[in-house]
Structure 1
Amino acid sequence: MAAPLTLDDHPARQIAADWARHLESGRLRSAHTVRAYVATAHRLIAFLGRHHAAPVDQALLARTGVAEMRAYLAYRRQEGLGNNSTARELSAVRGFLLFAGVAQPRVKGPRVKRGVPRPVAPADALDIAEDAATVAALPWLAARDMAVLLLLYGSGLRVGEAMGLTGAALPLGDTLLVHGKGGKTRVVPLLPRVRAAIEDYVRLCPWPMGRGEALFRGAKGGPLRAELVRRAVQGARTRLGLSGRTTPHALRHSFATHLLARGADLRSLQELLGHASLSSTQVYTAVDAAHLLDVYRHAHPRAGG
């Protein structure tokens, strides 16, 4: 006869382990993200065990509702979690419960103070891609969302340009030929991580990649619509507590601003962005100056004097 389970024996931990393997498969998640997400799942399981005074298995996990979620978030807030961190915690919990087949409790995240609009930080750009992929219904859709959003940030594409890519882009190299506005074409860099994400998507996609067919597909095999990309970013920014101005186009802006901050000249940036006029590119000097001034005001010891 098997020994009875104790409060230290939570069968749901196996679900968390399976989730970790799911997150890692196809290199869709970084090791850091997997550790953070799974640690959140373990915290939730341990909390539910104490809350119900019983080992947490699939059946008990399925009973997780609004009351339990609010109690868990209150517990985490008591531990010192701020609004942004709580929003990220809630996003990870939702991803875990979705993987476990649990109906999503309708719990609103904390209100996050909206600051002055600024470029998306590199870590936030990656978080957006990873979060959007986490809630995708199927592994190949998760790989698609990851690839598209990394491409917007890593190569500075417009959404329409990414949607216009076809199977002719395959096999991928170090650069990508992009057809932009006005029928102009340009060559953009393809970073190793972005290339790997696209290759993972192509490997998992159930639809054939003909040279004349859309590279990025919708769930039924047709070309992916830009509106779905915008919705994916909107959902991710809400769950992560980011600014309402964090849009797919903001990822392109961030690509430009970060290159300029690293010393890229305006002419080179104009070519990478596909701007017809240099005046369109010069706006990024103002954006970068505003960002630097903000950093100065917060960091310089005499900035307020």
Structure 2
Amino acid sequence: MTATEARDAFLQWMETERRASALTLTAYRGDLDRFLAFLTMHLGAEPDMGTLAGLSLADLRAWLAHEHAMALSGRRPTTQDRAARTRARRVSALRSFYRYLARYHGVDNPAPGLLATPRTRRPLPRPLPQAQALEVPEGVSDIARTPMAQVRDGALFMLLYGCGLRISEALTLDVRDLDQARTLGDGAKGDGVLRIRGKGGKERMVPVLPQVMQALARWRGVHPLPQPDAPLFVGVRGGRLQAGIAQRAMRTWRHMAGLPDHATPHALRHSFATHLMEGGADLRVIQDLLGHASLSTTQRYTLADEARLMDVWTRAHPHATDTPPDTAR
């Protein structure tokens, strides 16, 4: 088996067994493509399984150094923090690849486990203020080109903020998911419960407020493809709506509304979590609603709130701008 064939088998395993996301698969494929291309250049021949088994820590470091040099050359411009995140992902891709090789192909090479992973600074969530978040569904809807798109976009962005969904999670929903949400909800209250398929294929149940259900019901009423297996959100040609179209719609509206560049569909997810926390919601509940595997991921919203409070304090407290008195005698 060639190294290229092993890479393809690994990615297939990641997709079917580990249920890795499309973004992870794309990133890992790109990293491993560059890794194998470097080995061909570095060793003078296309690598095979024996080559992968015999690579030293110095060989792996040489590849990472080569990638870093390429970035510094200007062909792949990047910031220092982004470079650290990219290196960390490449190390992760190598380790995952070699764990797979050891488990299924008997390639036992400890070198990837010895690579140092750089520390990366995870950016804090940047939510929108409540007033701006509430304006998004109607604002994006108003600039849509057709009446159908107006109802669709209003429902989509209402769902993103009202339930804290990732854009990918919302766009993978089918009509049957909305119909099922109605049956799982309280008919008297008009709410619902959506079954969401998140990262890694993990499912979670997310309550849907009556106002969000009303927006979805309006969209269901004009949906061009009412059959249960149709995508819930469709484009003009009847196919599943692409994330790029929704992102472009919000980008257009935020420019018109004078909002900052971080006002994206994903910022609505941050806003959902932050506004729940500000309202006194338990951190574990927010974790479940967002589908975070680790509580530490959800705790970033606590850090973001602390940063906001400190900013308010430094701008508002009288002592924050006082010049300390001269105590010298």
Same fold (TM over 0.5): yes
Larger radius of gyration: 2
TM-score by length of 1: 0.59
The corresponding residue for 2:178 is 170
The corresponding residue for 1:193 is 211
The corresponding residue for 1:142 is 150
Determine if the alignment matches structure 1 residue 221 to structure 2 residue 229: no
CA deviation map 1:172-215 (0-9, x unaligned)? 3322111111111111121111111111111122x122222210
CA distance in 2: counterparts of 1:209 and 1:162, whole angstroms: 17
> Which of 239, 242, 245 pairs up with 2:256?
239
Gaps of 5+ in 2: 1-123, 186-191, 323-329
CA drift of 1:294 comes to 2.4
The corresponding residue for 1:159 is 167
The corresponding residue for 2:201 is 183
CA drift of 1:302 comes to 3.9
Matching residue's letter, 1:280: T
Determine if the alignment matches structure 1 residue 291 to structure 2 residue 299: no
Q: Is the 8 A contact 1:118 1:291 kept in 2?
A: no
CA distance in 2: counterparts of 1:255 and 1:170, whole angstroms: 20
Q: Is the 8 A contact 2:125 2:300 kept in 1?
A: no
- Count of aligned pairs: 189
1:186 aligned counterpart, secondary structure: strand
CA distance in 1: counterparts of 2:265 and 2:204, whole angstroms: 20
Gaps of 5+ in 1: 1-115
CA deviation map 1:88-107 (0-9, x unaligned)? xxxxxxxxxxxxxxxxxxxx
* Cα distance change on mapping 1:257 and 1:274 into 2, 3 Å: same
2:299 aligned counterpart, secondary structure: helix
Structure 2 counterparts to residues 48-59 of structure 1, below 5 A:
none
Determine if the alignment matches structure 1 residue 252 to structure 2 residue 269: yes
Runs of 4+ in 1 over 4 A off after TM superposition: none
Q: Is the 8 A contact 2:152 2:219 kept in 1?
A: yes
CA deviation map 1:226-282 (0-9, x unaligned)? 001100111111111011011111110111111111112221111100011111111
* Cα distance change on mapping 1:266 and 1:199 into 2, 3 Å: same
CA drift of 1:301 comes to 4.1
The corresponding residue for 1:275 is 292
CA distance in 1: counterparts of 2:308 and 2:292, whole angstroms: 22
CA deviation map 1:2-23 (0-9, x unaligned)? xxxxxxxxxxxxxxxxxxxxxx
Q: Is the 8 A contact 2:204 2:289 kept in 1?
A: yes
TM-score by length of 2: 0.55
Q: Is the 8 A contact 1:269 1:281 kept in 2?
A: yes
CA distance in 1: counterparts of 2:231 and 2:125, whole angstroms: 33
CA drift of 1:299 comes to 3.6
